[in-house]
Structure 1
């Protein structure tokens, strides 16, 4: 029975930290999507409704990318997350999100022409990927992982102190 209790506690911890991470990454990405709008041509060429639709579309994609990157990170880093392999999982998830962003920006800007960068967007060689989307997939997930980790550390400390 004790082993089963640990499994349930481990799953609830995984869900709690994973949920905290996803809430933080969702909030951070929504803010980032709005803040980087002037770096895309749509800021000057689209109607307000089209801009809102584009931001929400990209934001939902960001959340899905973050979710799947975290899930793959947990699987690749081994069991026990978030108590064990926390930063290894984070590194894998951030790397996957970053790699997907490079691919997606290349595909949607260069190949499909789904969106375009304004002249103000700094670009990173060799593919000319926009700097803002790249920084988004470094800064937002790191901040979200740090915040989620602090919250789980606080919860564990509180539980241990109440024993």
Structure 2
């Protein structure tokens, strides 16, 4: 029996590219909310590094849901539970990421940054990963990869 091998690597590369672009734009726009961030090459590099981490989270979330659904194109048939899992996972990852980043001294907030009560993390980065991961997946759905009336493509090893 021949196994169909969906282009998982290609899907994850697209996911990472879209997520990086969205998150880099967000990172650049939120620079005034962080201490010492300006339009210098060092600030751009820090925003790019943070965006790479955000893109890695999006690719990992996509891959995890592809594995759970046993369907590389799960995003074409995603449901409300998938969206909730992505959003909550993004919130949790953002909290951990912000705590670690602060502990390592990678960045600190300016007085302009509103904080999430009880967590001490900035509201803007708290919402960023959750929201932009959902938007990334919706853009993937809308970009033409989904075909109506297609059967799920089996994952490797089926």
Smaller-chain TM-score bracket: 0.7 to 0.9
Gaps of 5+ in 1: none
Q: Note if 1:21 corresponds to 2:46.
A: no
Q: CA RMSD in A?
A: 2.7
1:124-163 aligned at under 5 Å gives the runs 124-150=116-142, 151-153=144-146, 156-157=147-148
Cα deviation, residue 122, structure 1 = 0.9
Gaps of 5+ in 2: 151-158
Higher deviation after alignment, 16-25 or 132-141:
16-25
Cα deviation, residue 85, structure 1 = 5.5
Contact 2:90–2:129 under 8 Å retained in 1: yes
1:1-163 aligned at under 5 Å gives the runs 4=3, 7-8=4-5, 11-12=6-7, 14-43=8-37, 48-75=40-67, 77-83=68-74, 86-87=78-79, 88-109=81-102, 111-150=103-142, 151-153=144-146, 156-157=147-148
Give the number of aligned pairs: 147
Separation of aligned partners in 1, 2:105 and 2:13: 34
Contact 2:16–2:59 under 8 Å retained in 1: yes
Cα deviation, residue 98, structure 1 = 2.5
Separation of aligned partners in 2, 1:57 and 1:21: 17
Contact 2:15–2:59 under 8 Å retained in 1: no
- Larger gyration radius, structure 1 or structure 2: 1
Q: Residue by residue, what CA displacement relative to the aligned partner does 1:142-162 show, whole Å, maximum 9, x if unpaired?
A: 211111112223xx25x9xxx
TM-score, with structure 1 as normaliser:
0.74
Contact 2:15–2:58 under 8 Å retained in 1: no
| Greater relative CO (CA pairs within 8 A, separation 6+) | 2
TM-score, with structure 2 as normaliser:
0.76
Q: Which has the higher helix share?
A: 1
Separation of aligned partners in 1, 2:11 and 2:41: 35
